[in-house]
Amino acid sequence: QVLLQESGPGLVKPSETLSLTCTVSGGSISSYYWSWIRQPPGKGLQWIGYMYYSGNTKYNPSLKSRVSISAEMSKNQFSLKLNSVTAADTAVYYCARLQIALGGFDYWGQGALVTVSS
Amino acid sequence: QSALTQPASVSGSPGQSITISCTGTSSDVGNYNLVSWYQQHPDKAPKLMIYEDNKRPSGVSNRFSGSKSGNTASLTISGLQAEDEADYYCCSYSASSTYWLFGGGTTLTVL
């Protein structure tokens, strides 16, 4: 059973950088694609981006200039950084495994609420 | 990039069947067999219910089925149960630079 767990600050100030880490257990991140998805309060899901352990990354064009996703292979973790945040970035952030050939996100973390406020 | 279009809400009585539609374009839903559906209960993470348009992951009830016609995908839930009350989201690979596109979500109410 693959388990994902998000961790990081729950409060970030405007213009600063949001940083979250996803720890994967029950499987290695050195296979599959790993993704971040967010959900503003009361709203729908938005795909942020994904990474492959080889370093290949793809990002949502609406966030591309502010986002980066990277892996820490030795810790079986991958991370999200979103800079220059505003209140519009307040959301629950989920990490998830993407089965890219099947087009589905099959394992999800429980989600981490990040609030952008001074 | 606009989200895929879903009805805001649908409802049905226990035992009935309902269908949720998901409309995209020839650049996403209509061009790839990569539509997936997710169930989300309040304050819970989404759960994969359908992938590759119409395939069910192991453990998902066969009351859930997916289909597609042209640029519109559909999720059908038969034999509605109270536990099916949740939000449902479709998702598709998109040939445009967005890559993975979600629908706006549909709230299912079991009357």
Q: Are residues A104 and B101, on separate chains, in Cβ contact within 8 Å? A: no
Q: What percent of chain A has pLDDT over 90?
A: 91
pLDDT at B97: 64
Structure confidence at residue B1 (pLDDT): 54
Give residue for tokens 């859930």: B64
Contacts of A35 in chain B (CB under 8 A): 100
**Is A35 in Cβ contact with B38 (below 8 Å)?**
no
Does B48 lie at the interface with A, CB-CB under 8 angstroms?
yes
Tell me the chain B residues in contact with residue A32 when contact means C-beta distances shorter than 8 Å.
Answer: none
Predicted confidence band of residue B67 (pLDDT cuts 50, 70, 90): very high
Closest by alpha carbon to A33, among A101, A112, A109? A101
CB contact under 8 A, A104 and B57: yes
Chains A, B: CB pairs < 8 Å: 70
Nearest to A60 among B36, B45, B98 (CB): B98
DSSP string across B22-48:
EE--TTTTTT-S-EEEEEE-TTS--EE
Instruction: With a cut of 80, say whether residue B98 has pLDDT above it.
Output: no
Per residue in A90-116, pLDDT (tens digit) is 999 999 999 988 889 999 999 999 999
Q: Which residues pair with B97 in a beta bridge?
A: none
